[in-house]
Amino acid sequence: MSTLLVSHQACLAHDTGEYHPECADRLKAVNHVLEHEDFSFLFRDQAPRASREQLARAHSAGHIDRVMAAVPSSGLVEVDPDTMLSPGSGEAALRSAGAVCFAVDEVATGKCRNAFCAVRPPGHHAERERAMGFCLFSNAAIGALHARDAHGCRKVAVVDFDVHHGNGTQQVLWTEPGMFYASTHQQDAYPYSGSADETGQAGTSVVVNVPLPAGSGSEAFRAAYTDVILPALAAFSPDFLIISAGFDGHAADPMAHFRLQVADFDWITRQLLGLAAGHCGGRVVSVLEGGYETRALAACVAAHLRALMDG
């Protein structure tokens, strides 16, 4: 079995306007690096649209309708000061969420070992009733709930190493039984959530937040996983693991103030894969979140995918 890459051209048509950091150039840079011969053995497939049933596991009918109704026929529409819609945004959002559900299907049924979803818009800030922070639908949470409801996974984990806290993923999963959400992120940075005392509710989800100060580098990042998150994840013993793969913690990224290097993303990917091998048969789906310096993003995605391919 090999690693599956899921993407769709529609994700390039989500236009966020001039100078917006979450732009199509991000995905173009990823697509370019994936042309390298190292990735010639990837399985590749097109993302389907997410169904309304899949979206509704994470979002209310009202939220789904508001997002799709707000998509303009021309020009740009501002959802919040950070989040834009263009004529191509609705299709891109449906393909992004659909990619994760499709990847879960392929991994859960043993058609591939693991998968990476190279999609945009990202999802981890989208709450049940609110689009925000570049995000329209909560892609990772939608995938986690799909693994539970469509494939009978009793315990599903989402681990988020984006430099920003995934408030949306956490909020969507907060009251869901059998869910685990863990995040490292820069404290006192957008969206100003994810304190260590946000730990979930008894009998529902398990939440583990490790905020780190601005300027944190490899040592602090790796210690957060080695000392806190990986032991908690092992104790949870997931049936399925979803990675919210944000690469904006790289030292070159302009959106925050971590000092991570490509090697750190290779390291955390391999740590998570090792744990998944021991607890859920290596069943892992990763979905792209942040990463806004395109050269650093491409290098980090390449390292992440090489680790996935090594399994």
How far apart are the C-alpha atoms of 125 and 116, rounded to whole Å? 19
pLDDT of residue 201: 78
Mean local confidence (pLDDT), 198-225: 95
Residue 15 structure tokens:
């236009």
The CA distance from 53 to 66, in Å, is 16
Residue-level pLDDT at 200 = 84
Longest dimension (CA), the chain: 50
Task: Let me know if 8 is a catalytic residue.
Answer: no
Counting Cβ atoms within 10 Å, is residue 173 exposed (0-12), middle (13-18) or buried (19+)?
buried
**Contact (CB, 8 A) for 10 and 49:** no
Answer yes or no: is pLDDT of 52 > 90: yes
Question: Tens digit of pLDDT for each residue in 235-268?
Answer: 999 999 999 999 999 999 999 999 999 999 999 9
State residue 76's pLDDT score: 97
Mean pLDDT of 142-154: 98
Fold of 3-310: Arginase; Chain A (3.40.800)
Quickly state the pLDDT bin for 212 (edges 50, 70, 90).
very high
In this prediction, residues 143-158 reach a mean pLDDT of 98
Mean pLDDT of 216-223: 98
Residue for token pair 């994810």: 194
Res 253: pLDDT: 98
pLDDT at residue 284, rounded to an integer? 98
Mean pLDDT of all residues in the chain?
97
- Predicted confidence (pLDDT) per residue in 53-69, tens digit: 999 999 999 999 999 99
> CB within 8 A of 132, min separation 6: which ones?
79, 80, 82, 83, 125, 126, 168, 191
Active-site hit among 8, 59, 125, 165: 125
* pLDDT value, residue 26: 98
User: Could you state, in order of their start, the residue ranges of all structural domains in the chain?
Assistant: 3-310
- Tell me what the mean pLDDT of segment 162-189 comes to: 97
Beta bridge partners of 242: 158, 285
- pLDDT, residue 285, reads 99
pLDDT grade for 203, boundaries at 50, 70 and 90: confident
Q: Are 71 and 85 spatial neighbours (Cβ–Cβ below 8 Å)?
A: yes
Between CA 19 and CA 63 the distance in angstroms is: 27
Please give the average per-residue pLDDT across 6-19, as a whole number.
97
**Does position 1 have pLDDT exceeding 80, yes or no?**
no
